[in-house]
Structure 1
Amino acid sequence: MHTKQLTDILLVFLIIFCFTSCNHDDVNFPIFTFNENGECEPASLTPISSARFEEAVVGYGWKHVHTYEINPDGTCQTQDYYKDLDGAGPIQYYVESHSSLKVYMYVDAYPASGFRTVAYTFSDGNRLLSNQNTVFQILSVNGDTMEILDWLGIRAGGTEIYGYSIYRRMTNQELEEVQKTYHTDLSDIHELTVSVQENPLIISGKETEFDVLSSNGPFTFKPAREGSCEITSQGNHVKVKLLSNGVYLTGYDRLRHCEVVIFSTDEELEPEGTDIYDFTYTEITVNPEKKLFAPDGHEISYDLGSMEVIPRKEYAGSILSQYAPVALLVVDTNGQARYLRMNSGKISFKDLLPQEELDQLTEGTDGTSLTYKLELITPDCEVFQVLPFNITYKK
């Protein structure tokens, strides 16, 4: 009996502890205001002297405890800002001297955990300024706890987000662990760039090559489709041999990536056995007034008209998903090619027939024609079908 009563009492205390430890009622939230420029400021602030700043803040690492977003009315939200936030995390600080600050963070865009070294001055209003921008503003320092006002970001509509953050002074061991975890110098990160000027790159043969101009150490390139090409590299020089038409390469180093898309007009790379679609038209005509006409004689709008791919009767289901055209190559009889995006399987005549080509055609003799090969492309950049298209000038 006594054991049951004791268990019940302990259970009640446990419930009370869990309830109180899971909310933030113990936080004494300050009040903030917003000035005419939309900048957040504390409603009241006790100045911190330079001597006090040097004594209590400089030389220490500061570990993030909580951040609370500040509402437009100057009050604070009670849920931690980072609790359900994807793609970002809190910042840790090391105020290594009276003029140098280490900022430790995770950057989802790279992605990488690293640091930036910031030159700062301790200024009026307890602000740490770098290039006249506030890194953060100290609200108070009491023992091992520092409270700050910091800028968190900008919403899609342009509204700036501010936070009230609580930090705890790190032990030497904690600081060493942070420095090991966030070891990448984010101020020395390079984009992974290559010497390819056009993207997509359209070549006339089966082979091409390019140089890696900048990277963050060793890199590698991989095709989206295995077996679509052979890749060899030596130093910063990369050679690619196409085994089929259309290669989507992704280059990686330890922090960044880039894409290189390559197509070819080499007829030996044209696909076979995937004759899945037909276009609305395989031929049209144009008159001296540059009006377009379908084979049945009805006029087609040059500015608004389009033609679309239509699956052949024997194809349906998953194969149409696998070979869903999103773009095409327009290849003329001289082997010159243009890359065009499609819109839900449609291509506009204005894109397909540039005005200058239409002008040249209508300046010729009756019966002059332009012939193209329309090469359909999947989302992973595979050319899977070639369709003919012809436009003839008729007076």
Structure 2
Amino acid sequence: MHTKRLTDILLVFLCIFCFTNCDHDDVNFPTFTFNENGECEPASLTPISSARFEEAVVGYGWKHVHTYEINPDGTCQTQDYYQDMTGTGPTQYYVESNSSLKKYMYIDAYPAWGFRTVTYTFSDGNRLLSNQNTVFQILSVNGNTMEILDQLGVRAGGTEIYGYSIYQRMTNQEVEEVQKTYHTDLSDVHELTVSVQENPLIISGKETEFDVLSSNGPFTFKPAREGSCEITSQGNHVKVKLLSNGVYLTGYDRLRHCEVVIFSTDEELEPEGTDIYDFTYTEITVNQEKKLFAPDGHEISYDLGSMEVTPRKEYTGSILSQYAPVALLAVDTNGQARYLRMNSGKISFKDLLPQEVLDQLTEGTDGASLTYKLELITPDCEVFQVLPFKITYKK
């Protein structure tokens, strides 16, 4: 998930914002305690007055030097918390006033170098509080060095991770460099959303269109399979022309992405030349009690039975990996289609033939039938084979 380039960039910035002397033996580690709620607190703390806080902290940028995770017994680990991490990094701070600060960080989920502006109050206990949550707690401020207690994250089991961090006051030039690097306002990030109501979208022709409803600036849409479609955009309006059946589109802006999957019931888009699989049955019957039967007369369990694809004898090896069916379209004679997920090449009869379908069929005359085209779909949403299926009502 993390590329070498991303790792290199993070290492560069960690170097910029760290002391050149990385000898952890010189650190005088404080000790901490955990209260009954599992919250970490310093074992001892010298109060800082509001006047001292405004004099020593407000109006300055603070660059990260080291962070040490706090153990459950209140001691600190001696290896820097971020030393072996990729795809994430420490937070830099700019306390721009006595009520507002900026947090500069890298967010891997976007990915983006950006900032968030936080409104805070300085409270008793040396805490910077925002909406009653602690941004960080100052342990000491001596000259250009500030030591803090901050929350680093939450483990999978819900346990909070706390750290003892050392920060150094930035020069004005360093503040400017941070502002240039972390330029994205992360408090104003939008999801990339489109006007497609159903995903996957099943259309009757070869062309469709949709609007981009929200984005973080310019966007682009690309298909998973080159040559599967033609895409044209004008403003926030996107037009798609299918060149084969099944298109998996990914839309990107500078921060977010979204997926749009499109299939068609247009017979001209049906595939040719990939007759790789057979289904267990091409035809079954249903009686008045809505029991299913195979052509040889044996009963098929509606609740537990399934249709399964089996490769034809001439097909083995890589082609089966290339055309592994993970879903299908069940298209009836009226061109109405349903998208159905498959499980290891199987489709259950309960999914293929919903109860309302059986009800409709068994309310008809003896010999009435329903015919489907079962169109097999690959993981990258290509319809590659069409197989017939028929169910007939016999009293």
* TM-score relative to the length of structure 1: 0.93
Structure 1 residues 74 and 374: alpha-carbon distance in aligned structure 2, compared to 1, 3 A threshold: same
SS at match of 1:240: strand
Instruction: Name whichever of 317-326 and 295-304 sits farther off.
Output: 295-304
1:180-226 Cα deviation digits (max 9, x unpaired): 10011111111111111110000001110000111111111111111
Report how far residue 35 of structure 1 moved. Answer: 1.5
Instruction: Name whichever of 16-25 and 316-325 sits farther off.
Output: 16-25
CA distance in 2, matches of 1:293, 1:65: 73
Structure 1 residues 15 and 331: alpha-carbon distance in aligned structure 2, compared to 1, 3 A threshold: closer
Structure 1 residues 145 and 291: alpha-carbon distance in aligned structure 2, compared to 1, 3 A threshold: same
Sequence identity of aligned pairs in percent? 93
| Cα pair 2:17 2:63 within 8 Å, conserved | no
CA distance in 2, matches of 1:31, 1:84: 24
Report how far residue 24 of structure 1 moved. Answer: 2.1
1:294-331 Cα deviation digits (max 9, x unpaired): 22222222112112111111111111111111111111
Residue 180 (1) aligns with residue 180 (2): yes
SS at match of 1:21: coil
Instruction: Name whichever of 60-69 and 364-373 sits farther off.
Output: 364-373
Structure 1 residues 109 and 277: alpha-carbon distance in aligned structure 2, compared to 1, 3 A threshold: same
* Structure 1 residue ranges without an equivalent (≥5): none
Instruction: Name whichever of 20-29 and 83-92 sits farther off.
Output: 20-29
1:72 aligned residue? 72
1:118-171 Cα deviation digits (max 9, x unpaired): 111001110101111111111111111111111111111111111111111111
Structure 1 residues 12 and 314: alpha-carbon distance in aligned structure 2, compared to 1, 3 A threshold: closer
Instruction: Name whichever of 141-150 and 82-91 sits farther off.
Output: 82-91
| Cα pair 2:231 2:239 within 8 Å, conserved | yes
1:334 aligned residue? 334
Superposition RMSD in Å: 7.5
CA distance in 1, matches of 2:189, 2:7: 58
Structure 1 residues 234 and 323: alpha-carbon distance in aligned structure 2, compared to 1, 3 A threshold: same
Report how far residue 86 of structure 1 moved. Answer: 3.3
Structure 1 residues 88 and 390: alpha-carbon distance in aligned structure 2, compared to 1, 3 A threshold: same
Structure 1 residues 352 and 9: alpha-carbon distance in aligned structure 2, compared to 1, 3 A threshold: closer
| Cα pair 2:64 2:168 within 8 Å, conserved | yes
Structure 1 residues 291 and 258: alpha-carbon distance in aligned structure 2, compared to 1, 3 A threshold: same
Structure 1 residues 25 and 119: alpha-carbon distance in aligned structure 2, compared to 1, 3 A threshold: same
Structure 1 residues 295 and 56: alpha-carbon distance in aligned structure 2, compared to 1, 3 A threshold: same
CA distance in 2, matches of 1:217, 1:186: 14
SS at match of 2:358: helix
CA distance in 1, matches of 2:117, 2:131: 13
* TM-score relative to the length of structure 2: 0.93
2:312 aligned residue? 312
CA distance in 2, matches of 1:118, 1:317: 57
Report how far residue 6 of structure 1 moved. Answer: 42
Structure 1 residues 47 and 314: alpha-carbon distance in aligned structure 2, compared to 1, 3 A threshold: same
CA distance in 1, matches of 2:346, 2:2: 80
Report how far residue 371 of structure 1 moved. Answer: 1.1
Structure 1 residues 7 and 90: alpha-carbon distance in aligned structure 2, compared to 1, 3 A threshold: closer
CA distance in 1, matches of 2:303, 2:67: 54
Structure 1 residues 10 and 220: alpha-carbon distance in aligned structure 2, compared to 1, 3 A threshold: closer
Report how far residue 352 of structure 1 moved. Answer: 0.9
Structure 1 residues 260 and 51: alpha-carbon distance in aligned structure 2, compared to 1, 3 A threshold: same
Count of aligned pairs between the two proteins: 395
After TM superposition, the runs of 4+ consecutive aligned structure 1 residues lying more than 3 A away are 1-23
